[in-house]
Structure 1
Amino acid sequence: GTLEGVDVGDSVGKTGGQTINIRGMGADYTLVLIDGRRQSTAGSVTPNGFGETSTSFMPPVSAIERIEVVRGPMSTLYGSDAMGGVVNIITRKVGDVWGGSFGADVTLQGDDEFGTIFGSNIYANGPIVTDLLGLAVRGSYSTRDPSELTYEAAGGVEAPVTGFGRSSTGNEIWSLGGRLNFTPHADHDLWLDLDTSSQWYDNSTGQMGTNTTAGGYGDALEFKRHQAALAHNWRLGFGSLESNLSFNQTETVGRIIPNGVAGAGGPRKLESENTVFDTKFNSQWENHTFTVGGQYWDAEMMDGVAPVAFEHQQWALFAEDEWRFTETFAVTLGARYDDHSAFGEHLSPRAYAVWNLTDNWTLKGGMSQGFKTPRLEQLAAGINGFGNQGRTPLLGTPTLQPETSTSAEIAVFYDNRSNFRADFTVFNNTFEDKIATGEPVANCSFGVSQANYT
């Protein structure tokens, strides 16, 4: 089905992969979660138009129970990146009996200029020890033949389609993961989840980037991700406490250090490591349903064109309360406080109201603020990357502040409780402190002095 305000495939990157945009905000402002764990990294290890590769690190379809989408800023609960909205992919729970599924598919194009696509996925779960220990395993594999698109050029000459991402290159994508569930007590659940995945793309003819030292690309590009998560759910008599510790390592292989930089011609290391601890307490008291929690995020990024690693630490506290005044009217108030090692403090408030006018009509509206922290490399002093096919050095700015947005909306919903639903929403986004590329700096080099930024 479709969901208004959400665009999938509105734009594509150099690999031909699709992006997720919400309410006109680009993919960088959509926070993607898997079981509540953020998938975005603090620094970009896929620079120069490869950000869409993150959508190919998702679990296989057979492992997904449902997908939840929240439109509009949700930084109050989720922090950075949730300016446009949130997509939370919920995976299937381990069952009481063993079961599973296997699927395979092939896409044969109507025009043989487009490459054939093959795909498969597998999922199985069940108990190892009834009511105590359970296991789920999942995997997927797909491959695509290269497209060989052409167009009629001047003079009626047939010419190949050029331009990165416009003619999909050959690729191979796979993932493998598993989860171990442990229930030592009726009130406690613990689980360990491990996942590894890889995307390989052919660049032998420079389909995605000039494959020379000057261009900074090799004959193939590979994007890797390894994840681990340990979680605990505690069902208390007066609420529930959910905590998880996650580790995400994302790496790009196949980039080359361009000319003019120490080590030119050698492999360019692009690797990011993110360790995040999340905890939240959910409870009810009289006509209040509330959540309080916190987060600690330690991030590090290594880039072969920079002399040192980029890093930051960030912690946050948040609270949200749904206050139900009557059976038909409720107001939600929330706020989040973040403290970042580079730019300091930030506060994100939210207020939202829901009024069930009748059994069929509902009125909703509110205001919320979102923010996005500068990427690790954007805060670095000196050269942090290259654009223009390896010819233009890019510099960071240590004094950057977060991008922020304020969103106001009002919506009317109708549901006849049978076979028809409709809604009408009006919203306004005010965007401030947009981070953009500035004017070129002459004779730039590593370790540029603070005076260059002020």
Structure 2
Amino acid sequence: MPYRPHRALLALGVSLTALTAAQAQVLPQPAARPPAPASEVSLDTLSVTGTKTAEPAIDALSGTSIVTREQINRIQPSWLSEVLSQVPGVTTQENQNDPAQAINIRGLQDFGRVNVLVDGARQDFQTSGHSANGVFYLDPELVGGVDITRGPTSTIYGSGAIGGVVAFRTRSIDDILNPDETAGAVQKWGFGTNGQKFLNSTSLGARIGTGADVFGQFVYRTNDPYKDGFGTLVRDTGNELTSGLAKFNIRPADGHEISGTALLQQFDFANAGTSNAGARFANSVRADTYTLGYRFARPDVPLVDFSIKGYATSTHNQLTFLSDTASGLYGNLGVKAGNRLTYDIETRGFDVHNTARFDTWAISHALTVGGDFVSNDVRTTDNAGGFGSAFTPSGSRSLAGAFIQDEMRYGGWLRVIAAGRYDHYELSGGTLRSSGDRISPKITVGVSPFAGIEFYGTYAEGYRAPSITETLVQGIHPFPAFSILPNPNLRPEVAHNVEGGVNIKYNDVITPGDTFRAKINGFQNTVDNFINIETVGPTYFVPAIPGIPASICTRIPGRFPCVIPVQSFQYLNIAQAELTGVELEGAYDWGGGFVSLAATHTDGRDVATRQTLLTVPPDRISTTLGLRFLDRSLTLGSRLTFVDERLNVPAGATVLATKAYGLVDFFASYQANEWVRADFIVQNAFDKRYRQYLNALNNPGLVAKAAISIKFATR
């Protein structure tokens, strides 16, 4: 990417302004004692994605995990894939020449099977190509934490989430100020090798008594193309980001809170398609999220814990044609440099619910009743060949749902969660229309036979409506020129998930004050009417020369240039897909150090043909070991990640098989005092050449990154 001095100067100016303003209020105190490090046991962090009621992840009767801001700081991620790489059951698909990310949970991804939320707002952007069909844009420096629940047990958190829910919380005032601080700023600069060029993050916040607080963050990041483990430059893997985040919370009376968020991100990059082998386009992506919410909750009013949130998200991707492929395909179609293709999706929605807490005899209840609505409006404008508008068609879809859930507790040893959700959808585009609805039940039973261990079992169903693209896609593939056909008769997917697990939590296991937490779970998710793209119809011949109309082959099939045999493609329902797996997550923290472990095994196949599903990732195991020194102000450690091979790729797939690989990272974090923190990490320390499954390009070789954060605050 070309370096843009005006943005660098803007970043520097904002940084210096923040530092000057904060320093005018209070000077750092060198003698201040460094704050105690947070426990590595993130399973003790509160989660809401499983049931909408806050509880520690270790107590959730589901495959629930948390990634904390401390863990994010330690690894200094440039991609969200680095943030999620240690979460069991979760993988990502990305094109390193595009900052967009797609999340895969238990072998399910694309078209909303994983509900991605940013501050409660759905991220439903999607474009079709030789990569993921459902991505979102979010820089990891903006993330304050991640709350993940795997499987359709989380459908109370939104329609379509048969794979699970990933809820990103952007940073807030509590990420930069301690409870006794009223105003301040944190300035962070980051630098790195192998393409990791420069990061600026400026955060400011102020508390206005107990009645309100405001927070703002500015992030500027620029990356150059990187080299893989063999030292080969991977072209077009640089990009530039400018983003701003603003938040407010107003508490006009006891128990009442009004909150709002505005997140604006601008990504600029250029590439020649997924694999850098197609036509070259300059991309300008604007991804914005706005939320406005109200909540009332007070301990003395147990029947009312009311929340309502409305949101609007938009993603606008403008591609400007730069140059053609060697075949001259786009030029043959009359496309000229400067012609543009735009993808736009506007998402509007709201979520409202209330939790009433009460007792009936010896049973305690938390009864949650609510509903949600989301609409997607997709508009594709294509003056650069017509392929974009064909494969990412314009259209509209709305999803509406209502739910009821009762969390019941008895005697401290028994928990039962009974829930039901009603879903309805409507989809339209051109002359095509479709709609449908369904009720999906859920029942979970948790038993704690003795202190520290709880067993649970769940049966849950989920419902995913067909997407606009799956239903309306229609066009001719660039080369070879086969047809992709629409299917207005697609039926929604219905997931039937059986899951069981055990949660383990003990303190003072080996030494006083230590903490051990672990979650182990297994699942079988059977998806009826699973939607997959398949070949259909008879074999026919298309030209071997790009740019020649396929229509000429109706007259001379099998004769030059019409010598490539193909079939058409169409999204179809397959009777059943079955996914099974086992997940393990655990952590032990003894104060002087910590160790964590995460492991994943997933299988998935078409039940009728026994063919493995393309999106099922290989097995993975990862572990982190950290040791604390200098009165716990210095943390040194290492991460090990081992990923199995994935060789049984379905015939005809554009995704390549991958070999097994192992990665070693080293990290160090030093909290010099209350005001200054330094972080250093070496990723892929042994310069391994590898490619993550589902990705089209090799991953980076050795990368070293360093960052320093300086804080100023008043009390």
Which residue among 508, 518, 532 is the counterpart of 1:436? Answer: 532
Q: CA deviation at 1:389?
A: 6.3
Which letter maps to 1:302? R
Secondary structure at the counterpart of residue 155 of structure 2: helix
Which letter maps to 1:181? N
Which letter maps to 1:79? G
Verify the 8 A CA contact 1:343 1:400 in the aligned structure 2.
no
Please state if 1:313 is matched with 2:398.
yes
Partner of 1:366: 458
Q: CA deviation at 1:13?
A: 2.5
Aligned counterparts of 2:237 and 2:172: Cα–Cα separation in 1: 36
Which letter maps to 2:113? Y
Please state if 1:292 is matched with 2:388.
no
Which letter maps to 1:268? L
Instruction: After superposition, give the CA deviation of every residue in 1:115-150 in whole Å (9 maximum; x if it has no partner).
Output: 3342232222213x4344431111222221113559
Partner of 1:283: 356
Q: CA deviation at 1:401?
A: 2.0
Q: CA deviation at 1:360?
A: 2.2
Partner of 1:353: 445
Verify the 8 A CA contact 2:155 2:164 in the aligned structure 1.
no
Secondary structure at the counterpart of residue 229 of structure 1: strand
Partner of 2:121: 37
Task: Pick which of 198-207 and 327-336 moved more.
Answer: 198-207
Please state if 1:232 is matched with 2:297.
no
With CA pairs under 8 Å and 6+ residues apart, which has the higher RCO, 1 or 2? 2
Which residue among 323, 329, 340 is the counterpart of 2:414? Answer: 329
Which letter maps to 1:188? H
Q: How does 1:185-264 map to 2 (within 5 A)?
A: 185-203=253-271, 208=276, 210-211=278-279, 217-218=280-281, 220-235=282-297, 237=301, 238-254=303-319
Verify the 8 A CA contact 1:106 1:116 in the aligned structure 2.
yes
Which residue among 82, 85, 95 is the counterpart of 1:13? Answer: 95
Aligned counterparts of 1:279 and 1:137: Cα–Cα separation in 2: 26
Aligned counterparts of 2:98 and 2:406: Cα–Cα separation in 1: 42
Secondary structure at the counterpart of residue 341 of structure 2: coil
Aligned counterparts of 2:334 and 2:420: Cα–Cα separation in 1: 47
Aligned counterparts of 1:344 and 1:106: Cα–Cα separation in 2: 51
Instruction: After superposition, give the CA deviation of every residue in 1:188-245 in whole Å (9 maximum; x if it has no partner).
Output: 211221111122222279964522xxxxx52x22322122111111236222211111
Instruction: After superposition, give the CA deviation of every residue in 1:351-370 in whole Å (9 maximum; x if it has no partner).
Output: 11111121122111111122
Q: How does 1:40-439 map to 2 (within 5 A)?
A: 40-41=124-125, 44-45=126-127, 47-49=129-131, 54=136, 56-58=137-139, 60-61=141-142, 64=144, 66-94=145-173, 97-109=182-194, 115-127=195-207, 129-148=208-227, 169-203=237-271, 208=276, 210-211=278-279, 217-218=280-281, 220-235=282-297, 237=301, 238-254=303-319, 266-286=339-359, 287-304=364-381, 305=386, 306=389, 309-341=394-426, 342-380=434-472, 383=474, 387=477, 391-418=481-508, 419-439=515-535
Number of residues of Structure 1 aligned to a counterpart in Structure 2? 416
Q: CA separation of 1:405/1:131 partners in 2, compared to 1, >3 Å: closer, same or farther?
A: same
Aligned counterparts of 1:263 and 1:247: Cα–Cα separation in 2: 37
Instruction: After superposition, give the CA deviation of every residue in 1:413-449 in whole Å (9 maximum; x if it has no partner).
Output: 33332343344322112122222223367889xxxxx
Secondary structure at the counterpart of residue 420 of structure 1: strand
Gaps of 5+ in 2: 1-70, 72-84, 175-180, 427-433, 509-514, 541-549, 552-570, 574-715
Aligned counterparts of 1:53 and 1:208: Cα–Cα separation in 2: 19
Which letter maps to 1:23? R
Q: CA deviation at 1:93?
A: 4.7
Verify the 8 A CA contact 1:6 1:22 in the aligned structure 2.
yes
TM-score (norm 2): 0.52
Instruction: After superposition, give the CA deviation of every residue in 1:80-135 in whole Å (9 maximum; x if it has no partner).
Output: 342222222234554671133222212224xxxxx3342232222213x4344431
Verify the 8 A CA contact 1:12 1:19 in the aligned structure 2.
yes
Identity within the alignment, %: 21
Aligned counterparts of 1:227 and 1:242: Cα–Cα separation in 2: 19
Verify the 8 A CA contact 1:5 1:24 in the aligned structure 2.
no
Which letter maps to 1:417? N
Aligned counterparts of 1:255 and 1:22: Cα–Cα separation in 2: 33
Aligned counterparts of 1:301 and 1:394: Cα–Cα separation in 2: 19
Aligned counterparts of 1:205 and 1:411: Cα–Cα separation in 2: 42
Verify the 8 A CA contact 1:123 1:138 in the aligned structure 2.
yes
Aligned counterparts of 1:400 and 1:261: Cα–Cα separation in 2: 35
Verify the 8 A CA contact 1:75 1:336 in the aligned structure 2.
no
Secondary structure at the counterpart of residue 147 of structure 1: coil
Verify the 8 A CA contact 2:115 2:166 in the aligned structure 1.
yes
Partner of 2:555: none
Aligned counterparts of 1:324 and 1:150: Cα–Cα separation in 2: 53
Aligned counterparts of 1:235 and 1:283: Cα–Cα separation in 2: 10
Verify the 8 A CA contact 1:193 1:230 in the aligned structure 2.
yes
Q: CA separation of 1:404/1:388 partners in 2, compared to 1, >3 Å: closer, same or farther?
A: farther
Verify the 8 A CA contact 1:351 1:368 in the aligned structure 2.
yes
Secondary structure at the counterpart of residue 469 of structure 2: helix
Q: CA deviation at 1:273?
A: 0.5
Verify the 8 A CA contact 2:154 2:165 in the aligned structure 1.
no
Which letter maps to 2:198? F
Partner of 2:64: none
Which letter maps to 2:108? M
TM-score (norm 1): 0.80
Verify the 8 A CA contact 1:22 1:30 in the aligned structure 2.
yes
Aligned counterparts of 1:400 and 1:255: Cα–Cα separation in 2: 34
Aligned counterparts of 1:390 and 1:244: Cα–Cα separation in 2: 47
Q: CA deviation at 1:50?
A: 5.7
Aligned counterparts of 1:246 and 1:118: Cα–Cα separation in 2: 32
Q: CA separation of 1:436/1:321 partners in 2, compared to 1, >3 Å: closer, same or farther?
A: same
Verify the 8 A CA contact 1:378 1:395 in the aligned structure 2.
no
Verify the 8 A CA contact 2:124 2:347 in the aligned structure 1.
no
Which letter maps to 1:138? Q
Q: CA separation of 1:116/1:412 partners in 2, compared to 1, >3 Å: closer, same or farther?
A: closer
